[in-house]
Amino acid sequence: MGSPHLASVSVDLDSLHHYCRIHGLPESLLDERVRGLVYGAAVPRFLALFREVGVTATFFAIGEDQALPGAGEGLRAAHAAGVEVASHSFAHDYALSRRAPAEQAADVQGSLDALEAAVGVRPVGFRAPGYALSPGLYQVLCDAGLAYDSSTFPAAPYYAAKAAVMGGLALLGRPSRSVLDRPRVLAAPTLPYRPDPAEPYARGGGQVLELPVAVSPGLRVPFIGTLAVAAPWPVVRHVYGALRGSNHLNFELHAVDLLGSEDALPGPLLRQQRDLSIRWVEKRERLHQLFTWMRRDFDVVTLRDAAAQLAPTL
């Protein structure tokens, strides 16, 4: 007997200095308060929302961010609340998939060490910076003994670009860049699969399962936090409806999806990242609704548990 209707909520905890790097803004723009907002404000907001709706989740945390003030406390509170802590690399290097194997291994191991030091449990899951996977990076994940990867983001470029404009979200500009590098991702499976180690965007017999980020069937509209908090609500409802029959709905968010105008972010960052100008309480209301639907329609589990349940069927 399988589990045909699993859903997972995951949040990439990219701190705001990574957004400065993406947008080419000086990190000096961020004072101490702003540097601490992801772990000090967004993380507790997500934890409160998960508790309120009664869902569990996975946080993808960046190794080097653990040196930020408040990061350790934030991650330990998440772990204590039953949230899975997985790796989003050590340095959030967008070129990680193209680096030499030794550099890739050092980054991945460094992130696992940093996160294990923070919460006392070694992560079993990984999401690559910019969602870009390569045979070399996939091999590193296998060598590290991970259970799953959740980097494949097989969105149609048109919708990725549209979402980027909608949210002003450069993180979505990156996948389209990686798409230009490796067009193979466009043909990648949209539901959990076992990758071919020689081409992780294709099916094969690899030991590390791939759990692709949700895109709608057919049109491959990305179903991610940016869409949920910034798109017209009927669009969100429609895309969710198209995904209701999935055997695994992998809903990916970013910590900034619960930051907003109340957080008084620096102007230059707001101009580049327009979704940060929406009030976070409004975003929270939308996510509350979505999580409630997911809880009604699916068995909501961490990505670690989804991988464990799906592994024998793939």
Q: How far is the CB of 18 from Zn ion (least distance, A)?
A: 7
Among 8, 11, 12, 61, binds Zn ion (CB under 5 A): 12
Identify which of 59, 57, 34 has the alpha carbon closest to the alpha carbon of residue 259. Answer: 34
Nearer to Zn ion among residue 60 and residue 240 (C-beta): 60
Nearer to Zn ion among residue 12 and residue 210 (C-beta): 12
Name the segment binding Zn ion (CB under 5 A); options: 8-16, 33-41, 188-196, 235-243. 8-16
Q: Determine contact, residues 102/75, Cβ cutoff 8 Å.
A: no
Q: How far is the CB of 30 from Zn ion (least distance, A)?
A: 17
Q: How far is the CB of 58 from Zn ion (least distance, A)?
A: 14
Name the segment binding Zn ion (CB under 5 A); options: 10-18, 202-210, 211-219, 228-236. 10-18
How many residues contact Zn ion, by CB under 5 A?
A: 2
Helix 71-80 / helix 43-53 crossing angle, nearest 10 deg:
10
Nearer to Zn ion among residue 254 and residue 283 (C-beta): 254
Identify which of 120, 62, 113, 116 has the alpha carbon closest to the alpha carbon of residue 89. Answer: 62
Spacing of C-alpha 188 from chain mean position: 18
Question: Exposure of 196 by Cβ count < 10 A (0-12 exposed, 13-18 middle, 19+ buried)?
Answer: middle
Name the segment binding Zn ion (CB under 5 A); options: 7-15, 131-139, 200-208, 239-247. 7-15
Q: Determine contact, residues 131/175, Cβ cutoff 8 Å.
A: yes
Cβ-closest position to Zn ion:
14
Q: How far apart are CA 221 and CA 223, in angstroms?
A: 6
Contact track, Zn ion, 14-33, x by CB under 5 A: x-------------------
Name the segment binding Zn ion (CB under 5 A); options: 6-14, 138-146, 181-189, 222-230. 6-14
Q: How far apart are CA 289 and CA 282, in angstroms?
A: 11
Q: How far apart are CA 71 and CA 65, in angstroms?
A: 7
Nearer to Zn ion among residue 174 and residue 283 (C-beta): 174
The count of residues in the chain is: 314
> How many Cα neighbours within 13 Å face the side chain of 74?
25
Lookup: tokens for 243: 């995904």
Name the segment binding Zn ion (CB under 5 A); options: 4-12, 96-104, 180-188, 207-215. 4-12
Q: How far is the CB of 88 from Zn ion (least distance, A)?
A: 6
Binding site for Zn ion (CB under 5 A): 12, 14
